[in-house]
């Protein structure tokens, strides 16, 4: 019918006009990301409150960007002393999370870690929340 395309287009325009803004007032309003978001790596804790990692090395070997470094406890081969993540190098491919046989790793929905200092993007997951700067690059 003549003019039906025009009417349809105007209908869509009117709907959009009345629907309200789609933009976010960031940083005043914080968007809650879906749990499937890939942001920063974190480690689960086990039943004893320690790191869930069993120091198996699977994620270290599989990481294509050499982001991770693991230091095992010399007295216990299945206990990590250090688990270092250099997030500045991470491409968030998710291979480490997918491949961990103990489901020790996960991504957090935290996206507000922008920094001018790359050193502050190095996280020590065994010591929850701790991170350091220079001299601690994963090998």
Instruction: Give the binding site for ligand SF4 (CB under 6 A).
Output: 53-59, 63, 65, 67-68, 70, 90-96, 100, 102, 104-105
| Closer residue to ligand SF4 (CB): 16 or 66 | 66
Task: Give whichever of 24 and 65 is closer to ligand SF4, judged by the CB atom.
Answer: 65
Q: Which is nearer to ligand SF4, 24 or 98 (CB)?
A: 98
123 contacts: CB under 8 Å, gap ≥ 6? 40, 41, 84, 85, 87, 130, 131
d(CA 123, CA 57): 18
Q: Report the nearest approach of ligand SF4 to the CB of residue 32 (Å).
A: 22
CB of 119 to ligand SF4, least distance (A): 17
Pick the closer one to ligand SF4 by CB: 92 or 119.
Answer: 92
Min dist CB 26 to ligand SF4, Å, is 25
User: Toward ligand SF4, which CB reaches closer, 67 or 122?
Assistant: 67
* Least Cβ distance, residue 132 to ligand SF4 (angstroms): 18
The least distance separating ligand SF4 from the CB of residue 98, rounded to whole angstroms, comes to 9
């Amino acid at each position: 019918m003549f003019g039906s395309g025009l009417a349809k287009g105007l209908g869509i325009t009117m709907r959009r006009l009345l629907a309200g803004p789609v933009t976010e007032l960031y940083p005043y309003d914080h968007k809650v990301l879906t749990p499937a978001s890939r942001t920063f790596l974190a480690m689960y804790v086990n039943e004893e409150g320690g790191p869930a990692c069993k120091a198996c090395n699977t994620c270290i070997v599989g990481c294509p960007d050499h982001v991770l470094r693991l230091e095992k406890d010399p007295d216990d081969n299945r206990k990590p002393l250090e688990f270092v993540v250099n997030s500045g190098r991470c491409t968030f491919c998710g291979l480490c999370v997918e491949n961990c046989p103990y489901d020790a790793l996960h991504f957090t929905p935290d996206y507000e870690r922008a920094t001018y200092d790359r050193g502050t993007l190095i996280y020590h997951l065994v010591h929850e929340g701790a991170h350091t700067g220079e001299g601690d690059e994963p090998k």
